[in-house]
A and B are shown apart, each in its own frame.
Chain A
Amino acid sequence: MTKMHNPTHFSVSRRALLKAGGALVVSIGTSVPLDTVLAAGEAWAQGAKPPLMPDQLASFIAVNADGTVSAFFGKMDMGQGLFVAIGQMVAEELDVPFKAVKVIMGDTATSVNQGGASGSTGIQLGGKQMRMAAAEARRVLVEMAAAKLGLSADALTVSDGVVHAKDDASKRASYAELIGGRYFNVQLDWNKEWGNTLYAPGKAKPKEAKDHKIVGQPIAREDIAPKVYAQEDFCTDVRRPGMVHGRMIRPAVAGSVPAKVDESSIKDIPGARVVWENGFLGVVADKEWDAIRAADKLKVEWSDAKPPFPNQTALYEHIRNAPVRKREVGGKELGNVDEAFKTAARVIEAEYEWPFQSHACMGPACAVVEIKDGNITCWTGSQKPHFVRDGIALTLGVPAETVRAIWVVGPGSYGRSDADDAAMDAAVLAKAVGKPVRVQYTRDQATGWDPKGPASIHRARAAIDATGNVIAYEFTSKGFSRIDVNTNGGAPKDTLAGHFRGAELKSADGFGVPAESYEFANKRLAWETIPPLLARASPLRSAHLRDPVGPQVHFASESFIDEVAAALALDPIEFRLRHVKDPRDVAVIKAAAEKAAWQARPSPRKDQTGAKVSGRGIAYSQRNSTRCAVIAEVDIDRASGKIWARKFTVAHDCGQIINPGGLKYAIEGNIVQGVSRTLWEEVKFDAKNVTSIDWMSYPILDITETPEAIDVVLVNHPELPPTGAGEPSIRPVAAAIANAIFDATGVRIRRVPFSPDRVKQSLS
């Protein structure tokens, strides 16, 4: 996190800033905040900074005059402590103390676009690049030291940022002496890609895991104290000179637009102004409270619009009957599924349903945009600020080089939240009123109008032969695309400001199939997408929500595997182990079973009577090379329908573990959010609009419902590359709970959420 350094550095850095202008100032043309100056500018003493491009080592690593290291990271931490792991990887490769590394994230002026927070790739892809860059920096520094000391590079080693002869520590040159305060001028071998897939290694090979001293340690976060003592600002706290406050006004009927706006209705509110362009409608005022009052008081007549949505009760029927826009078979069909089903002695079939869900971020999105001297700066909580830069450029029709987006920590976002929309709205307002504008969404806008995790149905069937073997398996998801709007706000077609101002919503096709290694002779996994309900500004447009479509797909697939096991009267783990082929998958299932002291027997258990019953269930899945098995132990009150997901046992394998402490917290968060999504979360709507607009109409898990224990088994593979941990463990949660409910009650609930009403109904 960018904390301010000793202010006495300011004069030096100020000069550095001026000299570094080519990279930091002139091309951006806007003032650079002090912390960035100190972080970036300190690295520079002479020579020009190379262009901020991925083929330059200087774009990732700088050694400051005092020997500390700045690591410029084009992804960001949305709350899981990712920056600690990145700092560990950089410190490890450079052979500097962990505390010497400062990871600077999410400012388009100091980092290249590594994709932002995206798909649990922070370490898997972002860290991989930072590791390679740091290794290359060390290699170059050792070469420089070799030249300076007149020794061969092979004769040198590095300890705590000092290069020295292996056999004589007095022959030494510190990183600070070698390059401190100057930029690297080293070319990397860039693959010419931007975003997650950006990769630019140097000539160096990173260390072998056996030599790791910092990687693998449970190093604590240092950003918690500043938050706890109210010393750190969030995005919502950014203020600019002359800034005014903006509020957006959304239609009561999705699809309608303002027909008449009576600006005189707010004339008594000081400084209140309307910004109206096609469907885009906002107000600004000098004082925030006045902006709130203006948004409330403004008289607007809306166009007639046919209510665009089906009744909530008809949602799954709508999905079932909707035309398939795209169908895709995941991987390759094994054998001949259709033929195999013809020979089945018995067919087991089931269908599962998952609702729209909201990001429902803790804080409604906030963004500040300032336009000054033809240059635009946006302070945003978006997890993809580089795309915010591109989105603002396209929204306002200016070159991307004139836009700078600065990520400032905001509420956790869990995917394509409302943050990107707020940034675009602020840009449009700022351009219209000629002043810096801070847009703060309201709670009803945050929950009601954020892009939603898609609703879906999932059909599964298994063919069983006369001897009880599974001879064929088919699984098909059908639902709204996970990319009605893209994973970022990089273009007007993907943002509310774009839609309201006239850009069409261009829904693309994206879903997913179960990620597992069950081997059946005949097997087909497929998905089908359907068109959005409203192809313009829509509160039910769908997009990425933590582990995009993972929870819904694996709720269905892992519930179904359990259904087959039960139909064959087999223990759910025994059945899985008969068919799971990947050894690492087997290992996590066994590790979870052992930790939870799993007793082998078929579900359901039949030894309970009375209102309160308990059960246990397992589910497992892969996610981009990570695998995770989750065992849930739940208590069910049959009278009230209330479920307590009491205990979880999680076995997690994400290859090499960079920071086991941070990993454990990330897993806990995933499990708890997974419980919330499973038991409570469902976006409600009527024909006109989304009606889940606050925490009463969109309930999430309460602290009184917290599990009593989450036991985590970390399976470490130091010999393998590290893979993602930001999302994989949320995947199996819903199915593990569903399977535990079945174990306890013998009743299979195939629709999420398992709210008390639904559970009670299912059990009666």
Chain B
Amino acid sequence: MARMNLDVNGKVETIEADPDMPLLYALRNELALNNPHFGCGLAQCGACTVHVDGQPVRSCVTPVSAVGNSKIVTLAGLGTPEKPHPIQKAYVEEQVPQCGYCINGWIMTAAAFLNQNKKPTEAQIKEALSGLKCRCGTHMSILRAVKRAAAMMG
């Protein structure tokens, strides 16, 4: 067990945990941030995605001790209804979900991509999101939402 500081959503929290424990369990169980979901534990689906220093990271395979002083942002820290990230706004406007369990992967990955890539082509968007899973088959509306967000971000 080790004491560690985690900078999550702009707040530094101290936790005590096995350094090998994946970040996902620190966020969910120590900090009660429910939004990153457990989907596979294998970095194969994206349901656990958070930003670490602006990069999308699969928290289910990232040891909590590897994060150091990096800034972690979860879906809850990405935006609010009052101050949404454009991809969140677009998700609502395009009515994307079926079940919504996969949302973290798509939104966090798309947000990081859109933050760094203005006016992406459809092929670039697909490539950036490749590997993420959605079992309900909302792919069509996910792409519509990302394109809409890209347009908002100019």
Contact = CB atoms under 8 A, between A and B. Distances in A.
Interface of A: 78-81, 220-221, 223-225, 227-230, 233-234, 236-237, 239, 287-289, 360-364, 409-412, 414, 440, 442-443, 661, 665, 668-676, 694-696, 700-704, 706-707, 710
B79 A229 contact: yes
8 contacts: A80-B98, A224-B92, A224-B100, A227-B103, A362-B135, A363-B47, A665-B98, A669-B136
A229 B88 contact: yes
Nearest to B33: A230
Nearest to A227: B100
Nearest to B79: A229
A223, A410, A700 — most chain B CB neighbours (10 Å): A700
B40 interface: yes
Given A228-B84, A669-B137, A673-B136, 9 more contacts: A79-B99, A229-B81, A229-B84, A230-B35, A361-B135, A362-B45, A411-B135, A665-B95, A694-B44
- Of the listed residues B80, B84, B134, B142, the one surrounded by the most CB atoms of chain A closer than 10 A to its CB is B134
A607 to B, nearest CB: 28
B79 to A, nearest CB: 7
B126 A672 contact: no
B38 A220 contact: no
Q: Interface centre among B35, B80, B98, by most A CB within 10 Å?
A: B98
Interface residues of B, number: 57
A80 B35 CA distance: 21
B147 interface: no
A106 to B, nearest CB: 14
Interface string B95-118: 111111111000100000000000
Contacts of B142: 703
A668 B107 contact: no
A62 to B, nearest CB: 28
Given A224-B92, A236-B37, A364-B38, A672 B100 contact: no
Contacts of A703: 126, 129-130, 132, 134, 139, 142-143
Q: Which of B88, B92, B103 has the most CB of A within 10 A?
A: B92
B100 to A, nearest CB: 4
Nearest to B146: A703
A364 B38 CA distance: 8
Contact of A670 (B18, B107, B137): B137
B67 interface: no
B75 interface: yes
A673 B137 contact: yes
B123 to A, nearest CB: 8
A363 B101 contact: yes
A30 B75 CA distance: 33
Contact of B137 (A288, A363, A672): A672
B100 A230 contact: no
Nearest to A666: B98
B140 A227 contact: no
Contacts of A221: 95, 97
Nearest to B126: A704
Contacts of B140: 668, 672, 706-707, 710
A228 B38 contact: no
Given A224-B97, A704-B130, A710-B140, A229 B76 contact: yes
Contacts of B47: 362-363
Contacts of B141: 665, 668
Nearest to A447: B40
B41 interface: yes
Contact of A673 (B102, B103, B132, B135): B135
Given A668-B140, A706-B126, A289 B25 contact: yes
Contacts of A665: 95, 98, 138, 141
Given A229-B81, A695-B40, A79 B136 contact: yes
B135 A700 contact: yes
Nearest to A674: B137
A443 B47 CA distance: 12
B34 A237 contact: yes
Q: Which 4 A-B pairs have the closest CB atoms?
A: A672-B137, A79-B98, A79-B99, A230-B35
A224 B87 CA distance: 13
B136 A412 contact: yes
Contacts of A225: 81, 92
Contact of B103 (A228, A233, A696): A228
Nearest to B45: A695
Nearest to B21: A289
Contacts of B138: 665, 668-669, 672
A220 B96 CA distance: 11
A673 B138 CA distance: 9
Max chain A C-beta neighbours (<10 A), residue from B33, B34, B135, B142:
B135
Interface in B12-59: 17-18, 21-22, 25, 28-29, 32-35, 37-42, 44-45, 47
B110 to A, nearest CB: 10
A233 B76 CA distance: 12
Contact of A362 (B22, B33, B130, B136): B136
Nearest to A706: B139
Nearest to A232: B100
Nearest to A709: B140
Contacts of B44: 443, 694-696
A220 B80 contact: no
A360 B135 contact: yes
A355 B80 CA distance: 44
A288 B139 contact: no
Nearest to A671: B137
B133 interface: yes
Contacts of B29: 287-289
Contacts of A412: 98-99, 101, 135-136
Interface hub of A227, A442, A701 (most chain B Cβ within 10 A):
A227
A233 B127 CA distance: 30
Contacts of B22: 289
A410 B101 contact: yes
A674 B137 CA distance: 9
Contact of A363 (B38, B88, B92, B127): B38
B32 to A, nearest CB: 8
A79 B132 CA distance: 18
A694 B136 CA distance: 17
A546 B133 CA distance: 18
Contacts of B45: 362, 695
**Most chain A Cβ neighbours within 10 Å, of B40, B42, B44, B45:** B40
B36 to A, nearest CB: 9
Which of A81, A706, A710 has the most chain B CB atoms closer than 10 A to its own CB? Answer: A706
A234 B81 contact: no
A239 B140 CA distance: 34
Given A229-B79, A704-B126, A704-B130, A411 B99 contact: yes
A347 B76 CA distance: 63
B16 to A, nearest CB: 11
Contacts of A239: 32
Nearest to A648: B140
Nearest to B103: A227
Contact of B38 (A78, A79, A440, A670): A440
A220 B88 CA distance: 16
Contacts of A668: 137-138, 140-141
